Amino acid sequence: MREDLEILKRSLIRADPDAGVAAAQRLVDAGVDPKAILEEGMAVAMFELGEMWKRGEVFLPEVVASAEVFKRCNAVVEPVLLAQKDENTEPNALVVLATVKGDLHDLGKNMVGAMLRTSGFDVHDMGKDVSADKIVAAIQEMRPQIVGLSALLTTTVPYQETVIKRLVQEGLRDQVKVMVGGAPVTPEWAEKIQADGYANNAPEAVEVARKLVGLAQ
């Protein structure tokens, strides 16, 4: 299993779709927990790729290609994750998810969405590059219990605060819990902007969401 996880990581970093998909399939067939494949394999590989990018060892086109391989591998792993849906702990709550305006990173947000669904949450995913106006309109229309805001760029993280301020202006702030995340987001930032929750990864996001709707972990 360890070997296939390493092959999967390497394939993501090298943007090799065939080797990546094959390794993901072998891991799934061997019964490895899809959450572990995603968090310990695929997410870690993308973080390592980001570090290589920072050091100038890979360039934008290679990262674009790796993101495509990530999506193809995810298409193998996510259905197995969703099939594990836990019907017994149904929180009966809706989460609206969005990557904030100006930001096109959505792989992590999608993982959060999949793990929330597996844990019985209903999820309305608004996609990426989503404005505060659209988020406000979605909250007014759908009345979710939680809104989750993802941001991956230091230039878009402040937009999480913009959204929270808009919710206050629109009189919606006490009707919805706000959860924030994304690689550059910190617990200190979440506290500063008075978000209700922060999580560093998708399984943690599920724990935080359960707490926010009043369920024990």
Query: How many Å apart are CA 113 and CA 124, to the nearest integer?
Result: 8
Q: Which is nearer to ligand B12, 50 or 88 (CB)?
A: 50
Cβ 58 to ligand B12, closest distance in Å? 9
Cβ 162 to ligand B12, closest distance in Å? 15
Residue ranges in contact with ligand B12 by CB under 6 A: 39, 43, 46-47, 49-50, 53-54, 60, 63-64, 67, 102-109, 111-112, 148-150, 152-154, 179-183, 199, 201-202, 205
Spatial CB neighbours of 56, under 8 Å, sequence gap ≥ 6: none
Q: Which is nearer to ligand B12, 87 or 155 (CB)?
A: 155
Q: Which is nearer to ligand B12, 21 or 87 (CB)?
A: 21
DSSP secondary-structure letter at 87? G
| Amino acid of residue 141 | E
Cβ 47 to ligand B12, closest distance in Å? 5
Cβ 137 to ligand B12, closest distance in Å? 19
Residue-wise burial string across 156-188, b where 16 or more C-beta atoms lie within 10 A, e elsewhere:
bbebbbbbbebbeeeebbeebbbbbbbbebeee
Residue 81: other Cβ atoms inside 10 A:
21
Q: Which is nearer to ligand B12, 87 or 127 (CB)?
A: 127
